[in-house]
Every structure is written in C-alpha cells, then in structure tokens.
Amino acid sequence: MSELDGKVCLVTGGAGHIGRAICEALLSEGAQVVAVGRREPSRPIESDGNRAAFYAADLRDAVASQGLIDHISERFGCLDILVNNAGGGPPVAAASASPELTQKIISLNLLAPLVLSQQAHALLTKTNDVASIVNIASVSGARGSPGTAAYGAAKAGLLNVTKSLAMEWGPRIRVNALIVGLVHNDAGIEHYGGDEGFRRVADMLPLKRMASPEDVANAVLMMCSDRAAYISGANLEVDGGGEVPVFLHLANASSTAK
C-alpha cells in the first residue's frame, strides 16, 4: 500500500499538460484526486482504475475558490495535499502589455495560489498528519523573463510565498515549490522554431532533453512523500541541470567557425 493511499489531493490546472500528469501520478498511488480547471477535460483523468473528480472554477475569483474548498470539505471532510499548478500567460512585450492583461497574469500565477492556500489552511490542518502544499513555479521566476515579465514576476513572488508560508504554517503543513524548466509539449514545438529549433534548445540543457510532464509529476510525488518529511520552504529545481548561459554557446560557435 502506498503512503499516499486514500490521501485527498487537490490539483489546480488539473486538465492541462502538466496538471494531468500530476493527477495521474497521484491516482496511481491510490490518492483521491480533485482536478480543477475552467473547462472540463475532453477525456477523463484516470490511472490504474482510479478516476479524478473534476471541479470547474476560475481560481482568479476568490468566491469561486472558496466554493471549491467548501465542496471538498463537504465531500471529504479534509485535505491532505494541495498542488498549485494552474498558471501561464501569453508572451507579450512589456511595453505593449495592457494593464488588464498584466493584472490577469499576476492574479492567476500569484494571487490565486496564495488565496487558495489561505482558504485551504483549515482543511489542511484538520487531520493529525502533516499536510503538504506544492507550488509549481518556473525558471522564469528565478531569472529574467523577457517577453513574459508579469509571468516571471508572479512566479518569483510565488517562490517567496512558499518560504513565508512554510515558516508560518509549520509544523502542521509543509510548503515547497518546484522551479520547473523547459517542458516538452508537442503542441508548443513551433514556439521553439519547429523540430530543428526544438532539438537545438533541448541540446543546450545538460541532460540533453526537456522535461516530460511525468518528470514534474514525479517531483511532486517525492515532495509529498514521507521521504521529504524534513523538507519545507524549499525551491527544488526541476530543470535538467539548468540553462547553459547563451554567451558560452555563442563563444563555442565562434570558435568552431574559425
């Protein structure tokens, strides 16, 4: 029997590329999973005969997120694991981004996970076991984020929130973040300039590949397990070793051309 067997888990952005993998990983460990998103997925989220429940909500609305917590309280009576995965934002030059777009991006990537965590606090402390929050952050929050300034700023804020909540809410709740690097998504290959550009970018990483959604899901499982019992306030880098500085590639390319 898995140590996560029967645990009640809430995964925001559960129908997305990474969110589905996280839900499936938790389901495979016997957890009870509630996936949240604005639109119900076209196919059920399931693994090993277990299926996630789906709850439709726009978590930028604090009333809607409170309704979600009330629903979990009524259905399960407690919450063991919260994965704040919902996020994202379109690339746009900072000088061209409207105030409305900037506010929406920061609301989704920073305010929504913070408010939902606050609203979930009582449920997370309802059992005698130590609960876990895992925030899905990004390398964009740990370095400059040209073209996605609001997104990067929000994810940087989420990393700070992670450490602050870990300090406030221990020992009853462990709070950690994953700093996720480039993730392989077939639908996004064109963003890297097609197959050739995609391979060049992947080859730049020390592990010579982008992360799969399952890589992120496995890191979530680790952070929620008893093996991470003394880990809280951590920002774990899930980035294949990190992005090698561009100037080194340019220097190497220059040397090769001579």
- For the chain, give the mean pLDDT: 90
This prediction's pTM: 0.91
Amino acid 254: pLDDT: 54
Type of residue at 128: N
CA angle 6, 161, 120 (to 5 degrees): 35
- SS3 (DSSP) at 3: coil
Least confident range from 4-8, 12-16, 106-110, 142-146: namely 142-146
Structure tokens at 195: 């197959």
Summarised one tens digit per residue, pLDDT across range 59-94 is 999 999 999 999 999 999 999 999 999 999 988 999
> From CA 246, how far away is CA 249, in angstroms rounded?
5
Please compute the mean of the pLDDT values over residues 167-194 and round it to a whole number.
82
The backbone torsions φ and ψ at residue 203, rounded to the nearest 5 degrees and listed phi first, read -70, -20
Domain residue spans of the chain: 8-257
Structure tokens at 81: 């694991």
Summarised one tens digit per residue, pLDDT across range 112-155 is 999 999 999 999 999 889 999 999 999 888 898 988 999 999 99
User: How many other C-beta atoms can be found within 10 angstroms of the C-beta atom of residue 146?
Assistant: 11
How large a percentage of the chain has pLDDT more than 70? 91
pLDDT band for 53, please (50, 70, 90 cuts). Answer: very high
Amino acid 22: pLDDT: 98
Active site residue 55: no
Q: How many helices (H) and strands (E) does the chain have?
A: 8, 9
Please compute the mean of the pLDDT values over residues 87-106 and round it to a whole number.
94
Q: Please state which of the four CATH numbers 3.40.50.300, 3.40.50.720, 3.60.10.10, 3.40.80.10 is assigned to the domain occupying 8-257.
A: 3.40.50.720
| Residue 249 half-sphere exposure toward CB, CA atoms < 13 A | 10
Summarised one tens digit per residue, pLDDT across range 181-229 is 878 775 555 556 677 777 777 888 777 888 889 999 999 999 999 999 9
Query: Of these residues, 55, 151, 192, 230, which one is catalytic?
Result: 151
